[in-house]
Structure 1
Amino acid sequence: MLRFMPVGDSMTIGSAGEHTWRYRLWRHLCAAYAGPFTFVGPRETLYDQEAEAPVSHAYADPGFPRGHLAGWGEGWIHMAPLIGDAVRRHRADVLLVSLGLIDLGFYTDAEQTADNVRAFITAARAADPRIRMVLMPVTPNIRAEHDAPFAGQVARFNELLAKTAADLDEHSSPLVLAPPPPSYDIHADTYDGTHPGPSGEHKIAAAFADAMHEAWGLGAPYGA
């Protein structure tokens, strides 16, 4: 059985009442991937914005494997120390990673964030030398639209992430860069300029699905 682990921040954990892009990808893979698969991870909850804590199980459709390693307000800096144990415990085969916005917004600059990407990859491979990873750059967001220095940091980090993926790619443990969906519109695909609404969930899921299909022949293009 192929075991996917979604790793991310608030856009990946999602909020109470949402489907999440994780669900959208699962639905796609149910139709597009011929073999058995599941989603794994040490967490299953959504973020409850009223409680200000990740304590909700109120998925719009809870009938899917909800395991993940994602957290509201968490970034590469938080996940790098956690990923090794998560990979070992849950025997993940493929990591689907969408991180970076929180790091750049609150903790580290582009170069420091790229260093944490390398630490994350090293820890994941120490847990499983054959782990595969799909890495998504920071997606368009409202802060980058209005804060030029922050937008510059986002652009710089995305360049460094692409270079890191190319430099550290290995045949036995491939790294794939999944570029942000080219049609992603923060005014139409998010509900607040950052967090995806239904169309945004589909587009993020499509970016991961299409990257895996193109790189590894896994499944089919999203929507096929």
Structure 2
Amino acid sequence: MRYLFVGDSMTVGAAGDYTWRYRMWRHLCGLGEPFAVVGPRDGLYDRAADAAVSADYADPSFPARARRHLAGWGEGWLHLAPVIGEVVREHRPDVLLVSLGLIDLGFYTDAGQTADNVERFITEARAAAPRVRMVLLPVIPNTRADLDPGFADQCAELNALLAKAVADHDTPASPLLLASRPEGYDILLDTYDGTHPNAAGEHKLAAAFADAMYQAWGVGAPYAGH
């Protein structure tokens, strides 16, 4: 199985982070089944350089081959929908693990416009690989939602639209799955700044994807934490 991690700043991570990608890799290693992590990028975001040029993962033994991804600080569905087809054709993933949407709503598009980009993403990915599987994570509102009811409403609306997109476009040939919000996820306890996951949050994000694949598709095993 070949996995492609797709996401925004919560997925790419910053210098010094483990990342939930690392937690997921450890989980996949524990299954004892052959797999690969694929993608065109491998860096962490460097705040001083304002670019994903850091290799300073919290675990330096995290192998280069497992650091691959398609994630970017400040990137959302708007940015990745136009490029996903090319990436899928080149890197041939079997499964896309996607965590996007918060940055779109925060800076670029409203819920309806974002949902249009979700539709484009699904279409482009399938055009490149008609049997690709996708797991989408709902938007997890950050601290802004506590202060801005309008933003909280946009997060809730997008999550409803994501559920509709999955219901409308799931097919036996190319399964589409909406994961559950990570169980017990608390932005005060599971992030270091109200948005980006700390170690506890990383485990919960990885678990959301791993458990969704196991429950819906019988792929892998429930997340045990590593």
Structure 2 length-normalised TM? 0.96
Structure 1 Cα separation of the partners of residues 10 and 36 of structure 2:
20
Q: CA deviation at 1:112?
A: 0.7
User: Which residue of structure 2 lines up, in the alignment, with residue 30 of structure 1?
Assistant: 29
Q: CA deviation at 1:182?
A: 2.8
- Counterpart mapping for 1:70-109 below 5 A: 70-109=71-110
Tell me if structure 2 keeps the 8 A contact 1:13–1:70: yes
Instruction: Output the amino acid matched with 2:78.
Output: I
Structure 1 Cα separation of the partners of residues 17 and 81 of structure 2:
27
Q: Does 1:155 align with 2:153?
A: no
The alignment's C-alpha RMSD in Å is: 0.9
User: Which residue of structure 1 lines up, in the alignment, with residue 134 of structure 2?
Assistant: 133
Structure 2 Cα separation of the partners of residues 23 and 40 of structure 1:
13
Runs of 4+, deviation exceeding 3 Å:
none
Structure 2 Cα separation of the partners of residues 40 and 146 of structure 1:
38
Instruction: Output the amino acid matched with 1:17.
Output: G
User: Which residue of structure 2 lines up, in the alignment, with residue 17 of structure 1?
Assistant: 16
Gaps spanning 5+ residues in structure 2: where? none
User: Which residue of structure 1 lines up, in the alignment, with residue 58 of structure 2?
Assistant: 60
Query: How many equivalent residue pairs?
Result: 222
Gaps spanning 5+ residues in structure 1: where? none
Q: CA deviation at 1:44?
A: 0.3
Instruction: Output the amino acid matched with 1:159.
Output: A
Moved more, 123-132 or 133-142: 133-142
SS where residue 140 of structure 1 aligns?
A: coil
User: Which residue of structure 2 lines up, in the alignment, with residue 112 of structure 1?
Assistant: 113
Structure 2 Cα separation of the partners of residues 211 and 142 of structure 1:
26
Tell me if structure 2 keeps the 8 A contact 1:44–1:66: yes
Tell me if structure 2 keeps the 8 A contact 1:181–1:207: yes
Instruction: Output the amino acid matched with 1:14.
Output: G
Structure 1 length-normalised TM? 0.97
